[in-house]
Structure 1
Amino acid sequence: MKHLKLFAAALLFAGMSTQAQDSNNPWAISFGANGVDTKVSAVGNDSPKWIQLGNVSENWNILPSVSYLNVSRYVGDGFSFGVTGSVNKIDKMVYRVPGTGSTDMVVNPGDLSYYAFDATIKYSFMDMIGTKWFDPSLNIGGGYNFFGDASAGTVNGGVGITFWFSEQVGIQLQSVYKHSFDDNRVPDMDVPTHIQHFAGLTFKFGGKDTDGDGIYDKNDACPEEAGLPEFNGCPDNDKDGIQNSEDACPDEAGTKELNGCPDNDGDGIINSEDACPEDKGTKMMNGCPDADGDGVADKDDNCPTVAGAKENAGCPWPDTDGDGVADKDDKCPTVAGTVANNGCPEVSDDTMKKLNDYGKTILFNSGKASFQKQTIPVLQAMTAILKEYPTAKFSLEGHTDSTGSEASNQKLSEERAAAVKNFLIENGIDASRLTSKGFGETMPVDSNKTSKGKANNRRVEVKLVK
């Protein structure tokens, strides 16, 4: 008995978790000690059939050891079915003293061996009263009992209480009234009606929890993976409140708005899709910032605070001459011009007048295409003007007076126009910008009858080629 008490005490402290429903652990086994009391039927046919416990030490027959074993299975809706086997020794049989009406006497009938085999249907009220540790019950059934050499069947009914101390371990107390329909009390011949009391430990088992998460497989939405009760047994690896099956990033804590994925910089773009996960950016920039708004992310922008071009690593293109046309598009990058003329200056009417005024003063040696010495500064001035318009193209046209033959004048005009062109080329003007031709005496601008008129007709005109 001492060992039984120690064993019971150890089991009581083995765990204090919430009591599971019988449907989770359908099997139960109970064992402990039992006591048999025969006082209830002491008067015979005239005996009232109520339970009188009387004095335990005087009336009860108890073996100081484990003396009963019960196995039961839950069948649903609070009902379970079980069978019980028990042993005892009857050394106290209660008799009513004849003629007294109320006086009992306890007689040893000869240390009769007691065996009982019972089948029981039990109903638990635990769900009805809504507790997880206090489990009252009613039971009915029948059995077969042996008092020494006598044996008889009984109809049984009883009450019980189980106190659950852990998920599967409890202490069970039960009393069963066994009616034998045998009113005699002759030892080894009769089986009297009696009450059998049970006290012992009960264990529930049979529930399957494959992943060991404390949630039985039948209630576990993820029976192969240890999980949490709030997710019906499914795991939440990153503990962000979103179960793995619904979490796009199950190993990184995130938010519900982003399907469980993290967004360190709070820009609404999850880390795995954010090119700059630690710097708040925009979706257009794949999560990276663009301080100057030029469409080049700061991490790739060589000029992050000044708007520039993607092709120039986020920096503005240089404009050396400051004319609003970037050097890369400016055909005259060192000379201010106009956008319409690709960054080059446009030749004005005043400039053309100046060039032609110079052209009228070019002096050639008589009948030749060579320049007089005093003409060189004029040609140099024309060269300077043409350099101001590096992409403009010009046509140099030679004219003569009517002195001499028409053929010789035509040739002379061509040679003089070519001489001007060659001087300009030799002094830095690109040859592709210049053409020359002669018109002889065919296009006079004044009368060839006077010296002054002839002088005006001997000229080189400059035309802008568009």
Structure 2
Amino acid sequence: MKRISLTVAFMALFAIGFAQTADSKWNIGLHMTQTEYRGDLGNGFFDFDDFDPGVMLNVGYYLSPTFDLNARFGYAEVDYTDENGTYGVGNGGYADLLNSPRSWGFDGNLWNASLNLKLKFNNGWFFSEDAIVGPFINGGVGMTYMDVDHQRIYGQSKEYSNLALNYGGGFNIRLGERLNMVLEANVINPTTDVYDGVDVSSAPGWEGADKSDDRFLQYSVGFTYNLGAKQDSDGDGVADRKDKCPNTPIGVAVDEDGCPIDTDGDGVPDYMDKCPKEPGTINGCPDIDGDGIIDSEDKCPKVAGLKELQGCPDSDDDKDGVLNLQDKCPNTPVGVEVDKDGCPIDTDGDGIADYLDKCPNEAGPAKTQGCPVQDQLNEFAKQIYFNFDKATLKTESFIVLDKVVELIKPHSDQDFKIIVKGHTDSKGNDAYNQKLSERRAASVRDYLVKKGIDASKIRSIGYGETQPIATNDTAEGRAQNRRTEIVVE
């Protein structure tokens, strides 16, 4: 029997067992055991002189980081001899009645099946779940069966079975991602005092004996390994329970924590990093001047600038106090007063900047450098008079026309034309009126040319009575229709 037990134990020593984890909840384990006895005949606990090998099969289920549930089935050979009659031999009573020599003992086979709850200390509270060494305690209930040969007690073999309590503890030593070695010590209490063949709880003469239930101390060493595949939601090769980045995109290289590789350590993973070998803050690229434009695209990488200027700072080329990007008139002459948009001030709003406007406080066309020439010409034209029924100017008209010359002459270099228009009322012959209006318009033109207005810029037209501006039925209306107009085009 011992040869068979030794063979099984030797195989168990090198067998690979299985240990459950959060990834693979089921396990199966195989352990080699050494069993020692304590009871009526004596105390063999921690007596390593006699080697009684055994084997134990363990099936476990992961409940939580703190608890596992284990079902165990084990076989062990157990023997014990009290060669010195330690417990009361020779003191009379029950021992004397047996009239036996001072050598008591038994040799048997112990079978044990139990269901145990395992409390793990590497649960994240006391030790990390991934701790190399994880202490634990366990306890449970089961059944024991023992066939035993008694020496000088009954003189025959006996068989016993009874409810058993199991409790103990040990250490789990992590050897790899799945492989572990387990060192453990457990007490098996069959809750009876007869397995050793002696029950002295009430027998006289055994006052020194251990009168509690027989107990067996079992040491074991085994190996564990989980059964199923690890849970890896993102398929990066790192189990979910260890994956600090469980949603990594498929195909992205990760580190041992399951997080995307970040070669330059800038916090931007390589697969998103446009500059994976240079630490940076913008898509993983450096931006030395902090202007939001990566150095490789920044024309002024050491000076903060604007995106619109490719990373260079804004400037004020025309020195008007408004930066180029906001300057709607970037070429304003130096010294010219400008508004908030960088454009020259135009006080009268005529579209002619004050520094170019000859009349900055009076709106006028560009042709007359911002001066309201037409309005003044209209007023002057009302004061041009002719001799009755003639085309000759009255003397008082010369003063008015001289003012017209003064108004027009400063703008001679501008691109404009002057038209002198002559009109009559409806009295008299149409043809005569037409000729009269032409002669009168020509008289005004000739005077202006004589006074220095470029002849190429001025012409005269007569309209006769064809363009009245009032009724010809009244003297007042006819007076308005007899008129001369000076128009700037």
User: TM-score, normalization: structure 1?
Assistant: 0.50
Please tell me whether the aligned partners of residues 263 and 277 of structure 1 are also in contact (alpha carbons under 8 angstroms): no
1:161 to 2:170 alignment:
yes
- Structure 2, unmatched stretches of 5+, are 1-5, 90-100, 129-133, 150-155, 199-212, 276-280, 337-343, 393-400, 466-482
Number of equivalenced pairs? 363
The residue correspondences of 1:99-178 to structure 2 (distance < 5 A) are 101=88, 105=103, 117-127=111-121, 130-132=126-128, 133-145=134-146, 152=159, 154-155=161-162, 156=164, 157-165=166-174, 169-177=180-188
Task: Please name the residue that 2:52 is paired with.
Answer: 61
Q: CA deviation at 1:341?
A: 1.0
Report if the CA contact (8 A) 2:417-2:457 is conserved.
Answer: no
Residue of 54, 58, 70 corresponding to 1:81: 70
Q: What is the deviation of 1:68?
A: 2.0
| Counterparts of 1:350 and 1:324, CA distance in 2 | 21
**CA, structure 1 residues 277+203, in 2 after alignment: closer, same or farther (shift >3 Å)?**
farther
List aligned pairs for 1:120-269, cutoff 5 A. Answer: 120-127=114-121, 130-132=126-128, 133-145=134-146, 152=159, 154-155=161-162, 156=164, 157-165=166-174, 169-177=180-188, 179=190, 181-184=194-197, 195=216, 197-203=218-224, 205-206=226-227, 208-210=230-232, 211-216=236-241, 222=247
Which residue is equivalent to 1:15?
none
SS at match of 1:417: helix
How far did residue 200 of structure 1 move? 0.9
Name the amino acid aligned to 1:84: F
* Counterpart contact for 1:304–1:314, Cα < 8 Å: no
Cα pair 1:172 1:201 within 8 Å, conserved: yes
Higher RCO, 1 or 2 (CA under 8 Å, sep at least 6)?
A: 2
SS of the residue 2:30 aligns to: strand
CA distance in 2 between partners of 1:99 and 1:174 (Å): 26
Q: Give the Cα separation in 1 of the matches to 2:319 and 2:114.
A: 86
Separation in 2 of the partners of 1:130 and 1:437?
Answer: 115
| Cα separation, 2, equivalents of 1:323 and 1:54 | 107
* Structure 2: distance between partners of 1:218 and 1:151: 57
CA contact (8 A) 1:72 1:83 kept: yes
Q: 1:31 to 1:261 in 2, by over 3 A?
A: same
Report the aligned-residue RMSD: 6.8
1:465–1:54 CA distance, 2 compared to 1 (3 A): closer
Residue 428, structure 1, aligned to residue 456, structure 2 = yes
Q: Give yes or no for contact 1:383–1:429 (8 Å, CA) kept in 2.
A: no
Shift of 1:429: 0.8
Cα distance, 1:209–1:34 mapped onto 2, change above 3 Å: same
The TM-score normalised by the length of structure 2 is 0.48
Aligned to 1:448: none
In 2, the alpha carbon distance for the partners of 1:72 and 1:417 equals: 126
Amino acid at match of 1:130: F
Kept in 2: contact 1:383–1:427 (CA 8 A): no
CA distance in 2, matches of 1:266, 1:242: 17
Local SS of the residue matching 2:456: coil
Cα offset, 1:162, TM superposition = 1.9
Change (3 A) 1:304 1:117: farther
Determine if contact 1:228/1:235 at 8 Å carries over to the other structure: yes
Output the CA distance in 2 between the equivalents of 1:153 and 1:304. Answer: 111
Equivalent AA in structure 2 for residue 53 of structure 1: F
Q: Whole-Å Cα distance in 2 between the matches of residues 288 and 304 of structure 1? A: 22
Relative to 1, partners in 2 of residues 1:80 and 1:104: Cα closer, same or farther, differing over 3 Å? farther
Question: Percent identity between the aligned chains?
Answer: 15
Contact 2:135 2:169 in 1 (8 A): no
Q: CA deviation at 1:161?
A: 1.5
| Distance in 1 of aligned mates of 2:160 and 2:433 | 158
User: Deviation of residue 56 (structure 1)?
Assistant: 1.6
Match of 2:372 in 1: 346
How far the C-alpha of 1:35 sits from its partner, in A, is 1.9
Equivalent in the alignment of 1:35 = 34
Give the conservation status (yes or no) of the 8 Å contact 2:55–2:74.
Answer: yes
Partner of 1:447: none
Q: CA deviation at 1:94?
A: 1.6
CA distance in 1 between counterparts of 2:87 and 2:311 reads 107
Aligned-partner Cα distance in 1 for 2:434–2:197:
168
Measured in 1, the distance between the counterparts of 2:383 and 2:216 equals 146
Q: Give the CA deviation at 1:213.
A: 2.9
Amino acid across the alignment from 1:386? I
Q: Which digits, 9 at most, give the CA deviation of each residue in 1:118-154, with x for residues without a partner?
A: 3222233435983452213334322344569978454
Kindly provide the CA deviation profile for residues 309-343 of structure 1, in whole angstroms up to 9, marking residues without a partner as x.
999975257899x99599x9559x98845561133
